[in-house]
């Protein structure tokens, strides 16, 4: 597939450059993300170039003349100084605080085979009485994280050697492979309490902390690997599962003699099996690819009305866990975890359960692409397709975590310092994005839905609802026509010990629930199994799905109701939805320029 055109910057309005940022970016290769959209509202893009050669001239030709590519990078870096999402407000003093390591407790998970809670007393890291506030080092050369399907034999050798050395470190070294894997266990399975908040857990999933935590996690993991082989330029690969050429497990992870191999994977999904981002069970590879591209378009563009829809809901000091996951986390991210994990293991180990996920080297490659999705959404998707992406709440920006760095020094990091990947010193290999315009075809025949709609119950008559089978019902619209509306699933009560997934369809004509490449597919809710330290494994959450673009693709002009179909992908009980409704979208419409 051809690369998308490279935009030219024709105007920079009122920049407020930060010299330290812009100077560093002289060394950065242009990210492939710059080929798709403006980075913020100060950049105006109106022309394209077909020259995609990184080694081409420093000038890019467009209808307005030549633009110095170095100035393009400097402009982006300088503008970030003014729009780096950091609020100027005073901190409200109640972000989630970093855990107290000497109070790290026993993590737990649910053994689905034995039907009992299992305790893990090995997730806690070594204790240090010296914690320093981490400062990002100067960036003198940008690391480029490569697509795992495109790496060279030399890269694979280096990566395997680094991982092998990490596994051979002393068991009590915080940089040891199992110690690194246990970071995920401790932060995700109830080993840490929120300081001063009783027995309320710290949980980095199902909230706006999902992307920042995992970015820091990969950042230090990557630096440790580089330190172990004496190569500070080493960059982790990403599993390019959003591109058809990368929709199988990357080959370097399939060599059983390699340090990158993990035996606890689903052998039925070894290559050439195509990763099923919808976890539909469809075995037709062409259909799965089409489903995957539709899912990516939906989770990145079509289904989000606000920054919180993508990032996850607010999670502050004193908040219970699982306030609500963002689109990628509850969608493609969760499906890949479960698709790779071994169903013959007691709880879907390794990748299929949070406590064990970091024990599979493929975890870090998977989350490399998750982080890449955040970078793409954060800066480079066109403003005409996505909402305002800034979160300026001090309680988000000042949330802190603890990690050990490449020198085994315990450091404290904050969310606000990880919002710019370039400032952290890494970027991603330029890869085309076939899902960017993979909008599902319009649904033109509304007659069948109108007939069905008279025979299905109103939502208010069947909720609250246990989601253990396919169910269909009507939901009243706020107004007739193609309004800017949101479908809200509220008071979703879930058993956190189970894999749960339910897909949502609106006015579905054909009832083929394994095909998602259609206008009727609205989105999903899903979770990876985990267990908190509290006695009650139930949590309550909610999601909202944007209907605006969906309405544009189907005949709803004269309808008072829509017909919603819920399709569970899990087996058995574990999820109850308290209610469902349609509300007007309160967010401002995306810019059209």
Cβ(450)–Cβ(563) under 8 Å? no
pLDDT at 169 over 70: yes
* 205 a catalytic residue: yes
Average pLDDT over residues 61-71: 32
**Closest-CA residue to 295 (of 274, 314, 315, 312):** 274
- Let me know if 100 is exposed, middle or buried by CB neighbors in 10 A (0-12, 13-18, 19+): middle
pLDDT at 138 over 80: yes
What does the pLDDT read at residue 587? 82
Q: Are strands 400-404 and 107-111 parallel, antiparallel or unpaired?
A: unpaired
What does the pLDDT read at residue 388? 75
Cβ(489)–Cβ(543) under 8 Å? yes
Q: How far apart are CA 94 and CA 194, in angstroms?
A: 11
**Closest-CA residue to 208 (of 398, 371, 396):** 396
* 570 a catalytic residue: no
Average pLDDT over residues 545-571: 91
485-516 pLDDT, tens digit per residue, is 999 999 999 998 899 999 999 999 887 999 99
480 or 573, higher pLDDT:
573
**Model confidence band, residue 375 (pLDDT cutoffs 50, 70, 90):** very high
* 337 a catalytic residue: yes
pLDDT at 551 over 50: yes
What does the pLDDT read at residue 53? 36
What does the pLDDT read at residue 24? 34
Q: Is the dihedral of CA 377, 381, 386, 390 positive or negative?
A: positive
* SS3 annotation, 40-66: CCCEEEEEEECCCCCCCCCEEEECCEE
**Model confidence band, residue 536 (pLDDT cutoffs 50, 70, 90):** low
pLDDT at 137 over 90: yes
Q: Which among 21, 149, 184, 570 is annotated as catalytic?
A: 184
* 184 a catalytic residue: yes
pLDDT at 45 over 70: no
Q: How far apart are CA 277 and CA 373, in angstroms?
A: 14
**Model confidence band, residue 541 (pLDDT cutoffs 50, 70, 90):** very high
Q: Which of 25-29, 186-190, 217-221, 338-342 has the lowest mean pLDDT?
A: 25-29
What does the pLDDT read at residue 453? 64
Average pLDDT over residues 179-201: 93
Cβ(505)–Cβ(514) under 8 Å? no
416-433 pLDDT, tens digit per residue, is 999 999 999 999 999 999
268-316 pLDDT, tens digit per residue, is 999 999 999 999 999 999 999 999 999 999 999 999 999 999 999 999 9
**Closest-CA residue to 496 (of 348, 278, 322):** 322
Highest mean pLDDT among 46-55, 57-66, 134-143: 134-143
What does the pLDDT read at residue 451? 66
- CA-angle at 175, arms to 174 and 181, nearest 5°: 85
* 21 a catalytic residue: no
What does the pLDDT read at residue 493? 95
Beta bridge partners of 526: 501
What does the pLDDT read at residue 448? 61
Q: What residue ranges define each of the domains in the chain, with the CATH number in brackets?
A: 6-80 (no CATH), 101-428 (1.10.1280.10), 447-584 (2.60.120)
What does the pLDDT read at residue 491? 96
Q: Which of 337-346, 383-392, 526-535, 552-561 has the lowest mean pLDDT?
A: 526-535
**Closest-CA residue to 304 (of 350, 356, 373):** 373
**Closest-CA residue to 123 (of 355, 344, 322, 420):** 355
Cβ(38)–Cβ(75) under 8 Å? no
Q: How far apart are CA 521 and CA 331, in angstroms?
A: 13
Q: Which among 149, 337, 530, 570 is annotated as catalytic?
A: 337
Q: Which of 24-28, 146-150, 186-190, 440-444 has the lowest mean pLDDT?
A: 24-28
Rg (CA), the chain: 23
What does the pLDDT read at residue 575? 96
**Closest-CA residue to 454 (of 548, 530, 352, 560):** 560
Q: Which among 220, 354, 380, 499 is annotated as catalytic?
A: 354
Q: Which among 36, 367, 530, 570 is annotated as catalytic?
A: 367
Beta bridge partners of 193: 201
* 367 a catalytic residue: yes
Q: Which among 36, 42, 333, 570 is annotated as catalytic?
A: 333
Q: How far apart are CA 374 and CA 386, in angstroms?
A: 13
Q: H or E segment at 161?
A: helix 153-168
What does the pLDDT read at residue 444? 67
Token code pair at residue 289: 């690819």
What does the pLDDT read at residue 445? 59
113-129 pLDDT, tens digit per residue, is 888 888 998 899 999 98
pLDDT at 76 over 70: no
């Amino acid at each position: 597939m051809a690369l998308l055109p490279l935009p030219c910057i024709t105007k920079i309005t009122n920049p407020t450059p930060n010299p330290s940022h812009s100077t560093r970016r002289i060394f950065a290769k242009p990210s492939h993300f710059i080929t798709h959209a403006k980075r913020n509202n100060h950049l105006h893009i109106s022309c394209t170039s077909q020259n995609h050669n990184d080694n081409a001239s420093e000038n890019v030709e467009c209808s307005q003349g030549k633009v110095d590519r170095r100035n393009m990078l400097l402009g982006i870096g300088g503008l970030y100084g003014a729009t780096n999402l950091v609020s100027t407000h005073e901190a409200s003093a109640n972000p989630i605080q970093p855990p107290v390591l000497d109070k790290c407790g026993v993590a737990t998970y649910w053994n689905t085979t034995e039907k009992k809670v299992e305790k893990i007393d090995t997730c806690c890291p070594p204790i240090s009485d010296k914690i320093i506030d981490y400062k990002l080092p100067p960036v003198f050369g940008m690391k480029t994280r490569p697509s795992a399907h495109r790496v060279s034999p030399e890269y694979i050798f280096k990566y395997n050697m680094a991982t092998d050395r990490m596994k051979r470190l002393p068991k009590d070294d915080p940089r040891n492979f199992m110690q690194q894997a246990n970071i995920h266990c401790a932060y995700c399975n109830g080993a840490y309490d929120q300081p001063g908040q009783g027995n309320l857990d710290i949980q980095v999933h199902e909230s706006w902390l999902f992307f920042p935590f995992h970015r820091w996690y990969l950042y230090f993991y990557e630096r440790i690997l580089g330190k172990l082989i004496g190569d500070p330029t080493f960059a982790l690969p990403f599993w390019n599962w959003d591109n058809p050429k990368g929709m199988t497990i990357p080959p370097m992870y399939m060599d059983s003699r390699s340090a990158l191999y993990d035996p606890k994977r689903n052998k039925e999904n070894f290559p050439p099996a195509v990763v099923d981002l919808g976890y539909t069970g469809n075995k037709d590879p062409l259909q799965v690819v089409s489903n995957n591209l539709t899912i990516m378009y939906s989770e990145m563009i079509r289904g989000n009305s606000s920054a919180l829809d993508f990032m996850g809901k607010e999670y502050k000091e004193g908040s219970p866990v699982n306030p609500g996951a963002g689109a990628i986390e509850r969608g493609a991210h969760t499906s890949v975890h479960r698709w790779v994990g071994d169903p013959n293991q007691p709880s879907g180990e390794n990748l299929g359960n949070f406590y064990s996920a970091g024990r599979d080297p493929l975890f870090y490659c998977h989350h490399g692409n998750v982080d890449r999705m955040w970078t793409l959404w954060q800066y480079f998707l066109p403003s005409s397709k996505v909402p305002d992406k800034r979160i300026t709440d001090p309680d988000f920006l000042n949330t802190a975590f603890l990690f050990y760095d490449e020198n085994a020094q315990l450091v404290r990091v904050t969310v606000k310092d990880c919002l710019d990947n370039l400032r952290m010193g890494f970027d991603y290999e330029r890869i085309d994005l076939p899902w960017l315009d993979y909008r599902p075809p319009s649904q033109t025949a509304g007659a069948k839905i109108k007939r069905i709609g008279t025979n299905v119950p109103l939502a208010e008559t069947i909720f609250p609802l246990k989601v253990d089978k396919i169910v269909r019902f009507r939901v009243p619209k706020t107004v007739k026509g193609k309004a800017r509306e949101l479908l809200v699933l509220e008071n979703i009560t879930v058993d956190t010990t189970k894999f749960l997934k339910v897909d949502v369809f609106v006015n579905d004509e054909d009832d083929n629930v394994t095909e998602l490449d259609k206008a009727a597919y609205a989105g999903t809710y899903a979770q990876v199994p985990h267990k908190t330290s509290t006695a009650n494994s139930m949590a309550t959450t909610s999601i909202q799905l944007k209907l605006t673009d969906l309405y544009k693709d189907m005949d709803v002009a004269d309808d008072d109701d829509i017909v919603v179909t819920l399709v569970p992908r899990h087996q058995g009980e574990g999820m109850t939805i308290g209610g469902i409704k349609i509300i007007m979208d309160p967010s401002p419409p995306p810019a059209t320029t």
